[in-house]
Amino acid sequence: MIKVNLAGAGRKPRVGVKARMPASFTSVLSIVIVLGTGGGGYWWYSSLTAKLADLDSRKVQAEKQKAELDAVIKADQVIEARKKVLEQRVKIVENLQTNRQSPVVALDQLADAIDRTHFVWLANLDQKDAILSMSGIGTSLNAIADFYSNLNATGFFKNVDQGAASQDPSGNWTFTLRCEFSPPRPAASAPQPAAGGN
């Protein structure tokens, strides 16, 4: 019988090889790490500086826009103040025109109501703003009631308040009456149809 030693009996077992790095490699690696850290720090710092410069320029633009808007707001306030003054002047002029025409129109309408009423005469008439206070004489209570109705029928007087009526020794009736002069507003004109329309 033949025995074969496949393990190699006469050979020495191999020992693992240890590789040593040169000492200069560690210092190179340290320099690379330091340079990488410094480069990253410089990049980060430069990006922050760029962002800061961008924010500063935006701030300058925003302040410029704010100054422009402040000027517009001040101009708008001046225009609004002028508008209010002009509106007050227009209102004063309109009131003057209305007050200039109102007594004439009020007396015309009052005269018309008296003309349509028989046997009623006015003795006194006072006006304060739009309120008319009057006193007069009528031959009967029916005549005074007719005057009251005719005053309402003109459409120029509202809140007609008839005071007490009393009979004097001559048989006539004295009365007092109070009302508010309120002329009807003109109706808005209807829009005209376009010429040639169907």
The CATH architecture that domain 95-181 belongs to is 2-Layer Sandwich (3.30)
Give the pLDDT mean for 130-153: 92
pLDDT at residue 15, as a whole number: 54
Q: Spell out a b/e string for 20-41, using b for 16 or more CB atoms within 10 Å of the CB, else e.
A: eeeeeeeeeeeeeeeeeeeeee
Band of pLDDT at residue 129, cut at 50, 70 and 90: confident
Model pTM score: 0.46
Q: Look up tokens 């006193």; give the residue.
A: 135
- pLDDT at residue 130, rounded to an integer: 83
The per-residue pLDDT for range 13-36, each reduced to its tens digit, is 555 555 555 567 677 778 888 888
Q: Taking the domains of the chain in order of start, what are their residue ranges? A: 95-181
Higher pLDDT, 170 or 100: 170
Find the mean pLDDT for residues 165-192. Answer: 82
